[in-house]
Amino acid sequence: MDSLDTLCGAILTRRVVSFWYGDANSGIRVVEPHLIASNERDELVLCGWLLRSESALNERKGWHEYHVSKITDLAVLKERFGGPRPGYDANGGGRLHDVQCAAKPAEPR
């Protein structure tokens, strides 16, 4: 199973993921994954709500985009999340296209 399949599975089952993100501020990220789509440069990105970061950047909780090609050591955790966070847009805000998978709104209780 490749990273895209694993991430889409986590999105559809609302499971938190952790991964090593290899960019200028490499480190581990723990994220609620919500959407995978292509950006303006046709790069596949994961849109997710950052819960924790162990990088030099010390990112804050909130929405972040991660290039799928820079994600390694991906693990789906037992931890689940209830549904999309405030500000979630299943269409990528018109900036993203070719949606591969997306979280559905939370079921009413």
- Report the chain's C-alpha Rg in angstroms: 13
Q: Is the pLDDT of residue 14 over 70?
A: yes
- pLDDT for the residue numbered 92: 74
Q: Across the chain, what does the average pLDDT equal?
A: 88
Q: Is the pTM of this model over 0.85?
A: yes
Report pLDDT digits (tens) over 1-11. 588 999 999 99
CA–CA separation, 8 and 37 (whole Å): 11
Alpha helices in 19-100 (DSSP H): none
CA–CA separation, 35 and 45 (whole Å): 8
Which CA distances in Å does 80 have to 14, 33, 95? 6, 10, 28
Q: Is the pLDDT of residue 57 over 80?
A: no
